[in-house]
Structures are given as C-alpha cells and as structure tokens.
C-alpha cells in the first residue's frame, strides 16, 4: 500500500459510517449524488444487508441505488435476507427494500480509493450480501 493510503481508507470508512442515514423513497427518484462512490444498505433493525460501490455506473450512486429499488441488481435478486424477509417474488423483495431499508452513501472520485473503501467496508461490516461486480453473461 502507498504511504498513508490505509489511513485515508480508514478515515473515509469512518466518514461513510457517520454520514446521514436515509430512507428509500416510497416513489419517485432518489435524491443522492450522481458521482461514483460507496454505499451501505441497512435492514429494519440496522442489520448490514449490502455494501456496494459504483465501478462502472454512469450516474454513480443514484443509478446503483435505483437499480436496487427496481430489482436490477444481484442484491435484490439473490440476497438470502431479502428472500427470507421480503418474499419469493422479485417485486416483493424490491418493495421490501423501498419500505423497510435505509442507506448511507459517500461519493469517492478516485477509482482505487473507492475500491479499497468498498473492500474495507465489506471486511469490517460483513454484510449479508456481497455483490461481485460481474457483468451478466
């Protein structure tokens, strides 16, 4: 690791954990940054359900969280927690996210730093679901 890089990663991780926690909107668009970054999705009892980043998304955090709201992510498709609590159908699972879950997010411009913060956050918080950033076949 580069000099001071771990210190920077830890500082940004703490900033993410202290950032404001938001509810997903009942309908309409999310009011979140379009920059790329890292985010945490929480369950109704503040369980850590998912930690994600935005390595490719053109509209950053906003697009990624919207994908979760409309069933266009491995989180809403494959999460064991959402299948158990949200229901068997995809629509029930993403409605569960909309009505029961919250999120925090932090824009991170640098690709390497963003990837390190996402990995560090996953390692520290051990979320229920981990996305693997794989493109669909």
pLDDT given at position 136 = 43
Handedness of CA 126, 17, 56, 120 (dihedral sign): negative
Q: Which of 57, 60, 41, 70 is nearest to 108 (CA)?
A: 60
Domain membership of residue 136 (yes or no) is no
| Report field, pTM of the whole predicted structure over 0.75 | yes
pLDDT given at position 137 = 41
- Enclosing domain of residue 123: 5-130
Domain membership of residue 104 (yes or no) is yes
Domain membership of residue 68 (yes or no) is yes
Domain membership of residue 135 (yes or no) is no
Residue 110: partners with Cβ closer than 8 Å, 6 or more residues away: none
Mean pLDDT of 74-103: 91
Here the CATH number for the domain that contains residue 94 is: 3.40.1440.10
DSSP 8-state symbol, 101: -
In total, how many domains does the chain have? 1
**Is the confidence at residue 135, as pLDDT, over 60?**
no
Residue 136 φ/ψ, nearest 5 degrees: -65, 140
Domain membership of residue 102 (yes or no) is yes
Domain membership of residue 137 (yes or no) is no
pLDDT given at position 131 = 75
Domain membership of residue 39 (yes or no) is yes
pLDDT (tens digit per residue) in 85-97: 999 898 899 889 9
Domain membership of residue 24 (yes or no) is yes
Residue 73: partners with Cβ closer than 8 Å, 6 or more residues away: 64, 67, 131
């Amino acid at each position: 690791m580069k000099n001071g890089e771990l210190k920077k990663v830890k500082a940004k991780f703490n900033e993410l954990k202290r950032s404001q926690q938001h509810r997903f909107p009942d309908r309409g668009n999310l009011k979140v940054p379009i920059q790329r970054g890292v985010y945490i999705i929480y369950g109704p009892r503040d369980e850590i359900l998912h930690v994600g980043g935005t390595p490719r998304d053109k509209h950053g955090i906003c697009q990624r969280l919207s994908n979760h709201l409309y069933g266009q992510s491995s989180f809403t498709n494959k999460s064991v927690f959402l299948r158990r609590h949200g229901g068997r159908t995809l629509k029930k699972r993403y409605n569960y996210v909309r009505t029961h879950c919250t999120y925090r997010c932090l824009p991170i411009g640098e690709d390497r730093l963003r990837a390190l913060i996402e990995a560090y956050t996953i390692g520290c918080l051990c979320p229920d679901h981990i996305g693997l950033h794989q493109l669909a076949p």
